[in-house]
Amino acid sequence: MPWRTARGIAAGAAVTVLVVLLVVLLPVVVAAVGLSVARNVRRMRAAASRFSCRTCGAVLGAQALRRADEVWAAHMRELRGKYPAVRWRVVRHVHAICPACGARYRWHERDGAFVPCRRDC
């Protein structure tokens, strides 16, 4: 039987406690992230239903969010198709596209508002 020092026993206990905490807290963290994402999507939908396009004056609405989702998904497919070996770390910069005129907006989460994209998005 191998000899175990007090330091070795303490380190083993600490690892056990950390593993138990990880197993117990992981579902809580995953649920919290899911709730946060759902809350942000609700806020974005609500803001889109009130926001008037700065170019044409039309209300963005849910259609603008869907259109941006489609455009972003196509953009990501294109990137993955062109550079299949690249692991992308991309920050989404288009969250709404005006269904009337095509003006693009970025969601500013902290302010809970849409801001027009610069020329490059």
Which residues have CB under 8 Å from 64's CB, separation 6+?
A: 48, 96, 97, 98, 99, 105
Under the criterion CB under 5 A, does residue 101 sit at the interface with Zn ion? yes
CA distance 88 to 41: 23
Smallest separation (angstroms) from Zn ion to the CB of 100: 5
Cα–chain center distance at 117: 18
Among 47, 53, 65, 96, binds Zn ion (CB under 5 A): 53
- Give the nearest distance from C-beta 73 to Zn ion in angstroms: 21
Rg of the chain's alpha carbons, rounded to an integer?
A: 23
Q: Of the two residues 75 and 116, which places its CB atom closer to Zn ion in the complex?
A: 116
Check residue 98 for interaction with Zn ion (CB under 5 A): yes
CB of 93 to Zn ion, least distance (A): 18
Determine if 60 is a binding residue for Zn ion (CB under 5 A): no
The answer to whether the beta carbons of residues 18 and 61 sit under 8 Å apart is no
Q: How far is the CB of 67 from Zn ion (least distance, A)?
A: 11
Task: Determine if 56 is a binding residue for Zn ion (CB under 5 A).
Answer: yes
Instruction: Note whether 55 binds Zn ion by CB under 5 A.
Output: yes
SS3 106: strand
Measured CA angle at 44 (ends 43, 49), to 5 deg: 100
Contact positions vs Zn ion (CB under 5 A)? 53, 55-56, 58, 98, 100-101, 103
